[in-house]
Structure 1
Amino acid sequence: MSSANKDILVYVPDIPSDIADNDGEQMIQTRLQNTLSIKVKKVKCYSKLGVAVIQVTMEDHKTRLVSVVDSIVLDPHRSINISFVNKLELDSYIVYDRNASISKIPSSEKLVTHLKQAYKSIENLLCESITPQIPNIFHVTFNTLDNLVEVTNSSDFQLDGILATVYPCVNFSFLENLPRTTNDDKLRSAVITQNGDKELSATSLYIQYNKDTGDAVILVSKSAKTWLMKQSLIIDGQNIEKKTALTCRILVSPVPRGFNLDHIFNDSLFLNRVIGHNQVNDTLILELNNMETYKNVLAQKVIKIDNNSMKIKPYAIVIDPETMEIDAEN
């Protein structure tokens, strides 16, 4: 629905993806008119995006919906509520094939160029990797709803031979230090359980778990309100806090037995930048103070101290044979 200056528009950011557009439009119009006596000029649902646009006839009605009503029950039989906002957040995520080689994943600049060439109306697109630790997922902000609708209608595409999928208008969170018995299926089951056992479609939920690092990223539609209200995920009896950023950790090795770690901490590369550490055998795990430090340190690749050359690598779980627990999958 175009948003001309004269149009009085209210937005719904949390339409379930399993409601057909025509059904959603009729349900919204009927509920607003019958329960709130609000005359609706037009409703347009975009179930692929999980959003709807409502055109009302009076500014007072818009103010009432956004500032007073806030939300209503759309379908009492299925316990579906929708909310009203003044503006849509057009943040979306593009996920490349997780099995693609890191060196072959197209850059954010190449992704922007591709989208602009494929969809001529797109301008000033904002695009960046969500974090260097997960290089195959990009955060993209579109300028207009029309742009997002156009891209989402062809949600799967290839760039440089690598498959990519668009997840529009979703919320994302990170999980760290997950149990070693975790896998994608267990994570999906845990999310659905905490969402009140309400099933989520493949386009409404994306989970990417990295067993080597013990972390995961969760993309989920805004209709999953019960899950979004949770501050943590319960999995295998553990309470894992949801985060908006991953801890900046790197590995330094080999660190000789008995080596004075202060020599590493006081090196110009690490001075006043290390906020935590742990050593397992000859591998030193360092927690760094911010992402800029993380990038600079990894770019160094090797550090030499007292004739000892040590490699610097991205974080991965280091198993201590003396304290390790048996992995249920092995």
Structure 2
Amino acid sequence: MSEKLLSCDQLNAQFLNIYQFICTPSDQLLHTDIKKKIYINGISARIYYCADCNFFENLPKSITQQDLKEAIERDIEQGNISSSSLHIQLNEQTRDACVIVTDKARKWVTKTHLNLHGKSILKKNGLICRLLLYPVPQTYNMQQIFNHEIFHGKVINYKHNDQTLTIELSDKKTFHECLKFGILKVNGDIFHIKTSSESTNSEDNEINAATWYKAEMLQYKPDIMQFVVTPEHIIFHYRWNARVWLDEFERSPTHSRDSKATKTDNIRHLLRMTVMLNTIAAIRKKSYILDGQEVKLNLNDKLKTIVYDHKSKLEQCDNKTLTKTPYEKTTVEVIQEDCLVIYEDLFKNNYHPLLLNMANATTPGGGYRKGDGAQEENLFRRSDYFRSLDIEFDEYQEQQSDRFYCTSECQMKRIENQKRI
């Protein structure tokens, strides 16, 4: 008699690549040499037959998968356990871990906790069904959310911090349905939904491969505006790591400008887009973190932008004949270096440099919104340039720039009701 498949379910929303199969037992299955590895559409999958599964929650950031493996081996007094008997997967974002054991590692079933770095970490049979909803204002009526048909009677605990609402559910099915939809609509209000650990604090989470570059980032097209309209999006709260970003960028091959769009070229645009999103976040917070230290930004809340063209007159004055040149000589140097670095060096040496930006003739910032890589776009990503020149961005800023056009009569005419400068 052959076995019958009773169920096939994703183990947990935090570990999307692990599935649990439940079959009826059969003599044939018990006496068959079970294949430990199978291939589905070219993708390999390992089978853990009659396995036990458990979890750890809220692990410290310093702990790695290798740390967990070595600690489990010590606790069950088994060294060098193969991956066919022990599988450990750590969710870098939530800091929860899944442990699957069978065969030589089965002794782990008898343990109730893990001894690691002098501390005892409790082993759990399942993860708490905890969701994070945002943005939820402090003044919002929580009961409107709790009484939503998908939650009604299933919310067992909640915590409201700033504009994020963390809720615990009593029902695993509801938990998975919420994550599948990704949003919740309540009386016309829209809230985003993500998994959440008890200690989730996006300000403490780095932008890295696990949290962004190899995960959520790839779901989007390179365009900052899809994020700007949602200021509480998680990407604006992650902590920047320049080294990690540079590693990701250097791993993506370069392409000539006239080459057709490729996957790697799209990734480079997404990576540059991420830089711009981090710049926007820093400007909104008026600070950023560098080498573990907070750097405060002295931003001008009363920004003034003046637009000049070939008709503009800078000053009303009489014609004068230049009889003496102001300087004896002019020195020209061509240096292969970052223009902003050179500008800063000159300024520190008591010069008064003028930086010429070879800009787009019709669109200030060029393709900076979509992650293009030319000089003007680079300057936008490294400054608050967009506050001055991107008029369409004004509705998403706390303070807007006053903009003027310098006329041929040397007058300042206010620029109003325009989409572009």
Cα distance, 1:125 vs structure 2: 3.0
- Which of 110, 129, 136 lines up with 2:9 in the alignment? 129
Cα distance, 1:321 vs structure 2: 4.0
> 2:120, 2:51 → 1: CA distance?
23
Between Structure 1 and Structure 2, the one with more strand by share is: 1
**Greater shift after overlay, 302-311 or 208-217?**
302-311
The answer to whether the aligner puts 1:182 opposite 2:63 as a matched pair is: yes
The answer to whether the aligner puts 1:242 opposite 2:123 as a matched pair is: yes
> 2:192, 2:43 → 1: CA distance?
30
Cα distance, 1:301 vs structure 2: 3.3
Change (3 A) 1:122 1:270: same
| 1:274-317 Cα deviation digits (max 9, x unpaired) | 11222343221111011122134334433233543112233366
Q: Which residue number in structure 2 is paired with residue 319 of structure 1? A: 201
Change (3 A) 1:288 1:237: farther
Cα distance, 1:122 vs structure 2: 4.5
Change (3 A) 1:137 1:145: farther
> 1:319, 1:279 → 2: CA distance?
12
Unpaired runs of 5+ in structure 2?
207-238, 245-421
- Which of 129, 144, 150 lines up with 2:26 in the alignment? 144
Larger Rg: 2
> 1:130, 1:191 → 2: CA distance?
25
Between Structure 1 and Structure 2, the one with more helix by share is: 2
Percent of aligned positions with the same letter in both sequences? 29
Cα distance, 1:254 vs structure 2: 1.0
Aligned with 1:267: secondary structure? coil
Cα distance, 1:194 vs structure 2: 0.9
The answer to whether the aligner puts 1:287 opposite 2:171 as a matched pair is: no
Change (3 A) 1:297 1:275: same
> 1:142, 1:215 → 2: CA distance?
31
**Greater shift after overlay, 210-219 or 196-205?**
196-205
| 1:73-95 Cα deviation digits (max 9, x unpaired) | xxxxxxxxxxxxxxxxxxxxxxx
Q: Which residue number in structure 1 is paired with residue 85 of structure 2? A: 204
> 2:24, 2:38 → 1: CA distance?
17
- Which of 149, 155, 178 lines up with 2:36 in the alignment? 155
Unpaired runs of 5+ in structure 1?
1-120
Comparing both chains, which one has the higher relative contact order based on Cα–Cα distances under 8 Å and sequence gaps of 6 or more?
1
Cα distance, 1:323 vs structure 2: 12
Q: Which amino acid aligns with 1:293?
A: T
Aligned with 1:252: secondary structure? strand
- So what's the TM-score if we normalise by structure 1? 0.53
Change (3 A) 1:248 1:218: same
> 2:118, 2:157 → 1: CA distance?
26
Cα distance, 1:124 vs structure 2: 1.3
> 2:204, 2:124 → 1: CA distance?
30
> 2:7, 2:80 → 1: CA distance?
30
- So what's the TM-score if we normalise by structure 2? 0.43
The answer to whether the aligner puts 1:302 opposite 2:183 as a matched pair is: yes
Cα distance, 1:252 vs structure 2: 0.9
Match runs of 1:67-146 below 5 Å: 122-129=2-9, 131-133=11-13, 134-140=15-21, 141=23, 143-144=25-26, 146=28
Change (3 A) 1:301 1:228: closer
> 2:180, 2:10 → 1: CA distance?
19
Q: Which amino acid aligns with 2:155?
A: V
CA RMSD in angstroms, aligned pairs only:
3.2
Change (3 A) 1:268 1:127: closer
Q: Which amino acid aligns with 2:185?
A: K
